[in-house]
Amino acid sequence: MEILAYGVQTDERSLLEQAFAGRHELRCLDVFLNRDTAPLATGHPVVSSSVNAVLDAATLTVLAAGGTKLIAQRSTGFNNIDLDAAAELGLTIARVSHYSPFSVAEHAWALALAVNRRLTRAATRTREFDFRLDGLLGRDVHGMTVGVIGTGKIGACFARIAAGFGTELLGWDITENPACLDLGMHYTELPELLTRADLVSLHVPLVPATHHLIDGAALARMKDDAILVNSSRGGLIDSAALVETLRAGRLSGVGLDVYEEETGVFFTDRSIRGITDDTLARLVTFPQVLVTSHQAYFTRTAVGQIIDATARNIDDYAAGRTNENTLVPRA
């Protein structure tokens, strides 16, 4: 089958080509899939999209008109896909239901430790031969109270690392994870978790009920010197409210691997023309904020698993099968 893969990163390309060699014809593009780039897929029965694709009704309509039958998204989240429109257009949709949870959990901890110990500022200083410690005072993670919002596979990995540091664990989720209970986690209501935690990490999916879960009121409940980390989905945090919280001198550290308006910005080079998003521009100016470009999943292990699952999704479609990754089955 002829496959057009959108949003392929440089380090990802060779892995994709190896996975599909001798099985399917593959063409890779670095542009992201949206209504403007969808015409490029004309004549390709299979399209593989990246996490920042905009698969709304307009994009799906263009793809269907061009002969696309299957969209295999190389990510777990699918809040960017209009599944109802896909079903109406007769498009089959598949995703990657899971990959290494350690990749995201470890990156979340990398963000937490970096903002706690002011590593970005320290590295910038030492490159300029400024070896002072002024403004670099951090805290021991040992003894902290860590709040884990969402205790599925990734949240549980994050909690396991937290337990290794010797922290008190608080959890919030619709169901309690026995693995987290075994770590000594105490499940509580969200307001109590936010009030008590020294470090809060987000690991829930973005659905209508979790959109802006961390809004102005939630941020107001957090300790003035708390650390907030988000490696899940940008829409979990009200970014404007976060800016106001930081402007008020609250929160000692914020680590963000995702941002609610990241589409069209993350994974691109804006070093020359800049960005027009004033909120994101303001966020990156705060010295206690560290933003990475949705790279938490980006390890060789995780990307390899994502590509393997994507190849299996395409093979199963070609054979007339569905699997646990199928969101919209063949009509």
Task: Look up 203 and say whether it is catalytic.
Answer: no
Degrees to nearest 5, angle at CA 210 with 208 and 215:
115
CA 235/CA 214 separation, integer angstroms: 9
User: Which one is catalytic: 44, 262, 300, 321?
Assistant: 262
User: Which one is catalytic: 25, 294, 312, 330?
Assistant: 294
Residue whose C-alpha is closest to residue 233's, from 80, 115, 106: 80
Q: Tell me the one-letter amino acid at 306.
A: I
b/e burial code for range 28-58 (CB count within 10 A of at least 16 → b)? bbeebbbbebbebbeebbbbbbbbbbbbeee
User: Which one is catalytic: 121, 196, 233, 260?
Assistant: 233
Task: Look up 189 and say whether it is catalytic.
Answer: no
Task: Look up 300 and say whether it is catalytic.
Answer: no
Q: Which residues are catalytic?
A: 233, 262, 294
